[in-house]
Amino acid sequence: MYGIFNYDIASPRMGVKVGEYILDLELVSLLGYFGDLNIDPAVFAQPVLNDFIALGKPVWQAVNQHIKALLSDEQAALADIHDQVFIHQSRATMHLPVRIGDYTDFYAGIHHAENVGRMFRPDAEPLLPNYRHLPVAYHGRASSIVVSETPVRRPQGQFMQNGQVTFGPSQALDFELELGLIIGKSNPLGKPIPIDEAEDYIFGITLFNDWSARDIQRWEYQPLGPFLGKNFSSSMSAWVVPLDELEPFRVEGPVQEPAPLPYLQSSKPGHFDIQLEAILQTKQGTEHRICQTNAKHLYWSFAQLIAHHTVGGCNLKIGDVLATGTISGTAPDSFGSLLELSWNGTQPLALADGSRRTFLEDGDSITLRGLAVDDEFGLRVELGDVSGKVLSALQRFS
């Protein structure tokens, strides 16, 4: 996993997570371990990953292989300089890993979409007619994406309460368990990305929490979609897992019926078996696992998201983020939001300490975790956690 960190008086730079430590790639490069790759060590001393990503996939893969070789022979290669190149995470401050130009949030989780439809359109089909034909999305706010551990301020806005339009702090603050795709290659304006080339445009995957004010969202979203209910904050993990690392966990996705149009048809499986969970920590300090789901439940694949995003000619840029939307399974404890877990507040979620939750309270923290495991071959890839604590709304505007 790649990330951006700093420690002591050192400026932000690029590192790799190794257990409880971070391998400082600038120092590794200066010591000559990437010498045959002809990479300027300054690339690893940047405050974002964008310059490294811009070097292209062959370079990412070569650097990754060098790091794996170095770590496999760590005792021999790094024994004398361990304390120089390995920084304990307790000494480090993590930063947003990429400079994000644009952010799009999709609605690729079909079980989440069905649940929302059943809640808000109980007398109609849960899915709108277009859902199985195209990946639905909205254009989000890149400026309010923050790195994990950044507190989230409860937003204020308009919503309906007891039949009256009211202004005040959201009473229905929620999380959404998602994955984020970090774009690693640009396409020219006006040139769509073919689906079988789409994964070449992904640098890596990260955990993503699209915080949502459901009451504000519910009042404002018609006819143009989410706005203030979504733009106050989204949290992203400090760590990005290269897409190549997830190749052993590639699986078939759900059967898509009707068959999508040709530009959305891929020649290979495009889903990944990644176990996901959400942990709620109350202000009293008790922890509760409230959701267990899996990325393979997504209806639309990563490649389909990119192919559809660009089919009209939209140009993606290095560092852009495409989020999947809420990932839910079919079982009640696999729902990736409190909206679903409490069924829009009508069925409060019982916690192990005897308390209940409909939506998030001030002082609550949410942590999302991800893990891909293949016991047969002894493979294990962790996604970096993403966490955030809810702060109370501002008492007044200033």
Give the residue from 97, 213, 193 showing the smallest Cα distance to 153. 213
Residue 358 is given by DSSP the state: S
Residue 127 is given by DSSP the state: S
* Cis? peptide before 192, omega within 30° of 0: no
Separation CA 278–CA 164 (nearest Å) = 34
Residues with Cβ within 8 Å of 185's Cβ and at least 6 positions away in sequence, in order, are 56, 57, 200, 201, 203, 316, 318
Tokens 């790759």 found at:
37
Retrieve residue 265's tokens. 């048809």
Bridge partner list, 95: 4
82, 88, 95, 112: the active-site residue: 112
Active site residue 66: no
What phi-psi label fits residue 285: left (phi over 0), alpha (psi between -120 and 50 degrees) or beta?
A: left
DSSP string, 341-356: HTTTTTSPEEPTTS-E
Contact call for residues 105 and 300 (beta carbons, < 8 A): no
DSSP string, 72-103: HTHHHHHGGGHHHHEEEGGGEEEE-SS--S-E
Give the residue from 95, 100, 13 showing the smallest Cα distance to 52. 13
For residue 18, the surrounding DSSP H or E stretch is strand 13-18
Give the residue numbers annotated as catalytic, written as ranges.
112
